[in-house]
Amino acid sequence: MIVTPHSGTMIDAGHDVSDGPKAGPLNGTTEGGKNMTRPAVVADDWVRCFRPEPSAKVQLVCFPHAGGSASFFHPVARALPGTVETLALQYPGRQDRRAEPCVDDIAALADLVVEALAPRLDRPFAFFGHSMGATLAFEVTRRLEQRRLGGPLTLFASGRRAPSRKRPERVHLLDDDGLVGEIRRLSGTEAELLADEELLRMILPAVRSDYRAIETYTYRPGPPLNCPVLVLTGDDDPLTTIEEARAWSEHTAGEFDLKVFPGGHFYLAAQQAAVLRTITDRLGPHL
């Protein structure tokens, strides 16, 4: 959300801290019904709260982009009012979860996120997802609604075309140089980080896995979401046209709104104040 030299890069090799009680082991099936036994889902591994707000009225759950990490949203926790508690997801295969295998399938990732989030959602909540995170937030919302576990006050979908709008993309099949070139093209990471060979070797597996997850994702038709959807996009985003962003309206039976900002895929770097204002304005009646 807010881009800083250490927390706002597209790829982030730092370390995070977590909080809160541990969740027990959970097993289940994928959305497609295939039986599978999963490792224990521990809430602390998946959900980070950088500034606990026990009296907050609303929780904002943030879903990082491909190659991103929970720390991307650390400044959001500082910038939002105390009536909002910010939770950020930490996907496997990065930062302090580097030793864990990445999850390169959106449906499987959504199943795991639901189980990790469920014990933490103890008050009204909203979702904010950027790029791949927007699609993942959509799939998590579908699962919550299907299980009658409630849904977000608003799904904020940033920098991503509607789930039903697919493009032929093969970035995850490129060699390392090609993958780094795509990262540079999207302007989400400082050049000096991309020049660090040791760092690149550390983070490229997670970046490639995330790209594989989002590029092989296929929307499965189903009922529209019940919650409102507010889409945020840059007017010069090479990955999402305004028409593709507007197509999110087909995926909700609730209120739909589209906010267009100057900028590209990481428009929120320069538009951080406006983005935060958009979030707080929408959540205002609940705070």
pLDDT at residue number 134: 98
State the chain's maximal CA–CA distance in angstroms: 48
Whole-angstrom distance, CA of residue 170 vs CA of residue 84: 38
CB 117, CB 140: distance < 8 Å = yes
User: What integer pLDDT is reported at residue 193 of this predicted model?
Assistant: 62
Annotated catalytic, 131? yes
pLDDT at position 21, please? 29
Sheet-wide strand order for 229-234 = 47-48, 84-89, 58-63, 125-130, 155-158, 229-234, 256-261
Residue 192: its pLDDT value, please? 59
Active-site option among 71, 131, 158, 209: 131
Q: Is 35 left (phi over 0), alpha (psi -120 to 50) or beta?
A: beta
Are the beta carbons of 179 and 171 closer than 8 angstroms?
yes
Cα(90)–Cα(159) distance, integer angstroms: 19
To the nearest 10 degrees (0 to 180), the angle between helices 106-117 and 197-215 is: 100
Q: What's the pLDDT at 256?
A: 98
**pLDDT at position 50, please?**
94
pLDDT value at residue 238: 92
> Which two structure tokens, joined as six digits, stand for 166?
């697919």
Residues 6 or more apart in contact with residue 184 via CB below 8 angstroms: 191, 194
Q: How far is CA 252 from CA 8, 82, 104, 228, in A?
A: 30, 29, 26, 7
Residue ranges in the chain whose pLDDT is less than 70: 1-43, 187-195
Both tokens assigned to 125:
């909540």
Amino acid at 149: L
Beta-strand relationship, 229-234 and 28-29: unpaired
